[in-house]
Structure 1
Amino acid sequence: MKLGRTSAAVVLALAALISVHGGALAEPPPTIPQARAKLVKLNERADQMVEKYNQATEAYRKAKKKYDDLNTDLKLKGARVETLRESLVAVAVNSYQYGDLSSWEGLIVQGEPQAMLGSLASIEQMAQATTAELAAFEAATKELRVQRNAAKAVLSEADAARDQVRGEKSKVDKLVSEQTKLLRRLGAFKVGNPQSTGIAYTGPASGNARLALQFAYAQIGKPYQYGGTGPGSYDCSGFTQASWRTAGVELPRTTWDQWSWGADRRVSLDALQPGDLLFSKGLGHMGMYAGNGKMVHSPQTGDVVKVVDLDDYWRGRLLGAVRP
C-alpha cells in the first residue's frame, strides 16, 4: 500500500516524536566545564548532608553508651540490693531458729548468758550494718533509676533523629551516585587503595603535630568514604580524628564538633602551623595544614586522601583554623 503525501508527513512527525521521547533528541550531556561546575555544587550539598548524617549518628552513639552504662550500673546495684536483703532474711531466720536472744529466757535456754550476749551483739551489729548498707544501696539505686530513665528519654530522641537522618542518607546516596556518574564521565573517578601505605612526611612539623602528620601522609591514596573512620577509608573529619589520635589527642567525631571543641584554640589564618585543623565555610569540610602552603585531607566521593595547595583548593572558602 502506498502512502500519500499527507500520510507520509504524519509518519515523519510521529517518528520525530518517538525519537524525542526515546532519547535520540534528549538533552545533550554536559560539557566538561559544565560537568565540573555541577560537581562542585554536588560536593557542597553532599558535604552538608554527610555532616548532618554524622552528627545524628554520633549523637545516637553517645546517648546509647550513656544509657547502656547506667543500665549496667543499675543492674549491678540491684543485684547487690538483693544480696543484702537475703542477708537480712538470713539474720531473721537465724534469730528465729535459735530463739529470741533479746529475752533472758532465750539466753538461759541457749546456755551461758555471757556467750549468748556476745552472739546477740554480733547478730544485732550484722543486722544494723546490713540494714544501713541496704538503705544506702536502695537510695543509690533509686537515683540511678532516675538517671537511667532520663538517659532513655535522650536515647529515644536520638533514635528518632537517627531515623530521620536515615531518610537523609538516601538523599546522600543519590548525590553520591550523581557525583560518581559525573566523575566517571570526566574520567576523574578514583577508586583508591584501602591498603595504601602513603608517602613519608618530610615537612616542618614537630612534636605531636609531626606524629599526626606522619600518620596522615601514610593514609595518602586511601579512598574517601562518607562516614569512614579508617583504617581503609575516611571522610574528612574521620581522617583528622584518626590522625590526631595517633599523637595522643582525642578529637570529637564530626566537623561541627571539632570546630566547637576548638572554640578556645582558634588561630589566625596568617599564623598557621603544621597540624592545625582547617575548616571550610559552612563547616561542610575540613583538613589539616601540612606546612609550606599545603593541606592534607580526605576530599569527597570519587577521590582519595591527598595533599593539595591550600590557596588553590580553598581560595575564599576557608572559615578558620584550630590548633589541637
Structure 2
Amino acid sequence: MAAGLAFGLVLSPTGAALADPRPTLAQAKAKLEKLNDKADKVVDRFNTANERYKKAKSTYTKLNDSYKRKLETVADLRAQVIGMAVESYKLGEDVTSWPGLFNSNDPNAMLSGWAVAGQLSQERAEKLAAFDRENKGLKVERDKAEVALDDAEKERDSVEKERAEIRKLIAQQKKLLDKLGAYNPGNPNSTGIKYTGSASGSAAAALRFAYAQVGKPYIYGGTGPRGFDCSGLTQAAWAAAGVSLPRTTWQQWAWGASRKVSLDALQPGDLIFSEGLGHVSIYAGNGQIVHAPQTGDVVKVVKLSAYGRSLVGAIRP
C-alpha cells in the first residue's frame, strides 16, 4: 500500500524553479523514504479497518433486515390473534384475558395459560404458538442487530481516523513533490500497455490486466478502475485471472502462507512483498515488476533491482 513518493526525482540544473532554501536530492530522498515507510503502514491500516467496517456493516444490514421481517410477521400474527379474540367474543367464549395479550410486555405467560386451558381449536392454538415463537425471537433479533450496528460504528470511526492521517501525509507528499516538480497525477482513463512476457495460464491473464492499468494513478484505498493502491492492483489483476485474493497486503501474505516461493525462484505472476508488508507488486518476468507505487506516481513497470525496498518474500497464487 505504499503511499509515499517516487524517488526518481529530477532537479533542474539551475534550480531556478526552487525557492531557497532548496533541498538537495539526497535530503529529498531521505524525507520521502520516511514518508514512504509511514504511509505504507497507515494505508494498510486504513484498508484493514475499511474491510472490517464493510463486514460489520453487512452483518448489521442482514440482521436488521431479519429483525424487520420478524416485526412484520409478528404484526401479521398479532392481527390474526386480534381477529380470533373478536370472533371468540362474538361466540360468547371466555376472552377476559385477551386484552392483556396486547397490553402486556410479556404476553407469553398468558399464551401458556391458554394452552393449558385447552379451550381453543387446533388452528387457533397453532396461531398462538406461532405468535409466541415470533415474540420470543423478536428481542433476540433486535439485540443482535444493535450489537452489529455498534461494531460497525466503531469500525467506521477507526476508518475515519486512518483516513485523516493519510490525508495529512498526502498533503506533505504533494507539497514536497510540487517543490520538486515531480508530481504525476496519472490518467484514470489510461489503456496501459500490452504484456508480451513469458507468463502463461492464469499468471498471463493477471499480468495482461495489470499491464492494461499502466499509467493510471496511485490512489490509496483504490481498487479500480480509475486508480489503484498496491494491493488493490494485485487483487484486481488476479481476480481477472479467476483467483480471489483478500484485500490488504497483510491478508494476501497470510492467504499465501502455504504458497510461498523463494525470491531466487520467482516466476511471472508471483506476488512480491516488501519488508514490513507495506507494499506488494507482481513479478512480470525478466527481472521486472508491475505495481502501483505511491502517491504522486502511477501504475508502472520497473526493474525489481530498482524497487528500492527490502523484500520479505513472495507467494504464487
* Normalised-by-shorter TM-score class: 0.7 to 0.9
Over alpha carbons, which structure has the higher Rg? 1
Q: 2:215 touches 2:298 (CA, 8 Å); kept in 1? A: yes
Q: Deviations over 1:197-256 (max 9, x none)?
A: 001122222333322221111100001111222111111111112222222333222222
Q: 2:42 touches 2:162 (CA, 8 Å); kept in 1? A: no
Q: Where do 1:7-156 residues align within 5 Å? A: 28-100=21-93, 124-156=121-153
Q: Deviations over 1:245-298 (max 9, x none)?
A: 222333222222222333333333233332222211111111112223221110
Q: What residue in structure 1 maps to residue 10 of structure 2?
A: none
Q: 1:56 touches 1:161 (CA, 8 Å); kept in 2? A: yes
Q: How far apart, CA to CA, are the structure 2 residues paired with 1:298 and 1:258? A: 16
Q: How far apart, CA to CA, are the structure 2 residues paired with 1:293 and 1:323? A: 16
Q: How far apart, CA to CA, are the structure 2 residues paired with 1:263 and 1:77? A: 43
Q: How far apart, CA to CA, are the structure 2 residues paired with 1:219 and 1:283? A: 23
What is the identity percentage for the equivalent residue pairs of Structure 1 and Structure 2? Answer: 53
Q: What residue in structure 1 maps to residue 304 of structure 2?
A: 310
Q: Where do 1:133-212 residues align within 5 Å? A: 133-166=130-163, 169=164, 171-212=165-206
> Where does structure 1 lack aligned partners over 5 or more consecutive residues?
1-25, 102-122
Q: How far apart, CA to CA, are the structure 2 residues paired with 1:279 and 1:241? A: 14
Q: How far apart, CA to CA, are the structure 2 residues paired with 1:213 and 1:31? A: 37
Q: What residue in structure 2 maps to residue 15 of structure 1?
A: none
- Say which is worse superposed, 179-188 or 66-75, in terms of deviation: 179-188
Q: What residue in structure 1 maps to residue 270 of structure 2?
A: 276
Change in Cα spacing, 1:246 to 1:140, as seen in structure 2 (3 Å) is farther
Match of 1:293 among 277, 287, 290: 287
Q: Where do 1:245-264 residues align within 5 Å? A: 245-264=239-258
Query: SS of the residue aligned with 2:184?
Result: coil
Matched AA of 1:286: V
Deviation of 1:190 after TM superposition, in Å, equals: 1.6
- Per the normalisation by structure 2, the TM-score is 0.77
Q: How far apart, CA to CA, are the structure 2 residues paired with 1:133 and 1:246? A: 49
Change in Cα spacing, 1:93 to 1:323, as seen in structure 2 (3 Å) is farther
Deviation of 1:37 after TM superposition, in Å, equals: 3.0
Deviation of 1:30 after TM superposition, in Å, equals: 1.4
- Per the normalisation by structure 1, the TM-score is 0.76
Q: How far apart, CA to CA, are the structure 2 residues paired with 1:309 and 1:136? A: 66
Change in Cα spacing, 1:272 to 1:97, as seen in structure 2 (3 Å) is farther
- Select the structure that is richer in helix: 1
Deviation of 1:83 after TM superposition, in Å, equals: 0.9
Matched AA of 1:41: K
Q: What residue in structure 2 maps to residue 20 of structure 1?
A: none
Q: What residue in structure 2 maps to residue 9 of structure 1?
A: none
Q: Deviations over 1:27-47 (max 9, x none)?
A: 731122332232222222222
Deviation of 1:64 after TM superposition, in Å, equals: 1.7
Q: How far apart, CA to CA, are the structure 2 residues paired with 1:281 and 1:223? A: 24
Q: How far apart, CA to CA, are the structure 1 residues paired with 2:222 and 2:179? A: 25
